[in-house]
Amino acid sequence: MAALQAQRLFLTASSSSSSSCAGRPRRGATCRAALRVPAGLNTAASSADGSLGLKLEWVDPRVVATTSAPAEDAVAVDKLRAIAEAAADRAEMHDIIGRQRDNWNHLLLHSTNSLTLAASVMAALAPAAPSVLALKASAGALLATAAVTMAAAGKIQPSQLAEEQRNATRLWRQLERDVRAVLDLKTTPLTKADVQDAMDRVLALDAAYPLPLLPGMLEKFPKKMEPARWWPRRRQASNKKLVAYGGAKSRSFGRRGGNGWTQELEDEMRGLLRVLKAKDEHQYLKFGKALLDVNRGLAVAGPALAGTAAVAAAFIGGGEAGAWASGTAVLCGALAAAANTVEHGGQVGMVFELFRNCAGFYRKVQEEIEACLGEADADRRENGEVFQTKVALLLGRSTSDLRQFRRMASASFKDEDITDFAGKLF
């Protein structure tokens, strides 16, 4: 409460009768007054003309409370600009490294096959050649080198490394565009939460697609097939069971508009959620696991065959035993070249990474739908029509195509009865 102290107030004493005050001197009496006024009033007193003046001025308390908002907004803008610059730099680094590792794949493929085939020819010609020792030594050395090269290439999977960097480049550029769009189109002051969201995306991308080769690269032969994850985990996990089977109903459909949400739209999203998990994601996880087993077998077979050929080359010589050793070296060398061509020429590692990223894409769509439906109050969600359009574009469908998934939101509808896939883009 504001307090106003009045200046001196001179009061002239008045006499009740002329006789009683005729000889009494006139004295000035001093009075101090305190005035209590409500909060939000700016008061000032003046007595230029000898009288008490009171000036009242309204002050908006919200202005005082938000004096630090512009400073906080400026700091957040600077931080987001730094994040955007870092994202652009990361995208450039991943692009350069991706091209380099793609070159590795081609160079290792052709050089290893050249070594293996040349050694196989030497092993075939050695028994009949005058200089048997020189040919079999050369063949053995080339086959041993090819075995080591195949083992190294099978360990790091250059084609898979290149695919990782291509995906990372695309996602870092997407992050940069999103951050710059926030800076250019901001309608409200930026806060620490905006900066934290961007930082979470940066850390998630760094963990999903690391730059180092050794140590720190992703496991090329994981024990369990899991979708790729390049987005941060949500702090509050929604009740997936209620979301999937319609247990969490919105409380806002009775209001005017419902923020674009209706019960039919919720059923579409719930049915779509079931199909994405039961069909789309499951399909890529199944294919990825099968391809992982094939790639693991090829990665072992190539070096093993080349190593066997190198050992057999050491026993090449005259007589029947030398002929058998020569034949074994030639056959194993040819099979090693074939296995290497299928593995790295066919870029099996790259296809596995592609399946893993497709499964991650559908997992991300699922989590976005779950997070939206997990909010019971429709007014606090993203606009329903806008969200429906975004989901339809992600899946390569029109918004009218999503109506077919309403019936799949019911718990009585079994997963085995789902025949169609939700995504048409992949």
pLDDT: which is higher, 20 or 167: 167
Asked whether the predicted pLDDT for residue 29 surpasses 50, the reply is no
The pLDDT value given to residue 60: 52
Judged against a pLDDT cut of 50, whether residue 232 lies above it is answered with yes
pLDDT of residue 411: 81
pLDDT number for residue 377: 84
pLDDT attached to residue 57: 52
Confidence of residue 230 (pLDDT cuts 50, 70, 90): very high
User: What is the arithmetic mean of pLDDT over 225-240?
Assistant: 75
Helix, strand, coil percentages for the chain (3-state, nearest 5) = 65, 5, 30
pLDDT at 93: 95
pLDDT at residue 32, rounded to an integer: 46
The predicted structure's pLDDT at residue 46: 45
pLDDT in tens, 376-389: 888 888 888 999 99
Answer with the residue of higher pLDDT: 217 or 57. Answer: 217
Mean pLDDT score, 305-334? 88
- Cβ–Cβ contacts within 10 Å for residue 394, how many? 16
pLDDT of residue 168: 95
Higher pLDDT, 44 or 137: 137
Q: Examine the pLDDT at 9 and tell me if it is beyond 80.
A: no
Ramachandran category for residue 261: left, alpha or beta (phi over 0 → left; psi -120 to 50 → alpha): beta
What is the DSSP secondary-structure string of 14-50?
Answer: --SSTTTSSSSPP-EEP---EEEE-TTEEEEEE-TTS
- Summarised one tens digit per residue, pLDDT across range 89-124 is 999 999 999 999 999 999 999 999 999 999 999 988
> DSSP characters for 106-148?
HHHHHHHHHHHHHHHHHHHHGGGSS-HHHHHHHHHHHHHHHHH
Q: What was the pLDDT predicted at 257? A: 52
- Tell me, what's the pLDDT at 68? 54
Tell me which of 1 and 211 has the higher pLDDT: 211
Q: How many Cβ atoms sit within 10 Å of the Cβ of residue 5?
A: 9
Q: 19 or 175: which carries more pLDDT confidence?
A: 175
Task: Please state the length of the chain.
Answer: 426
pLDDT at 395: 92
Q: Determine the pLDDT at residue 241.
A: 45
- What is the average per-residue pLDDT within 140-152? 94
| Residue whose token pair is 């469908």 | 397
Q: Would the pLDDT of 31 be above 90?
A: no
Residue 358 has pLDDT above 90, yes or no: yes
Q: Read off the pLDDT of each residue in 365-379 and give the average, rounded to a whole number.
A: 89
Q: Output the pTM of the full model.
A: 0.75
Highest-confidence range of 236-250, 256-270, 396-410, by mean pLDDT? 396-410
The residues near 25 (Cβ < 8 Å, ≥ 6 apart) are: none
- Would the pLDDT of 339 be above 50? yes
pLDDT at 253: 52
Please give the mean pLDDT across all residues of the chain.
81
Separation of alpha carbons 206 and 66, rounded Å: 36
Better pLDDT: 418 or 256: 418
Give yes or no for residue 177 having a pLDDT over 90: yes
Residue matched to tokens 């001179």: 10
φ, ψ at 204 (rounded to 5°): -65, -40
pLDDT(65) > 90: no
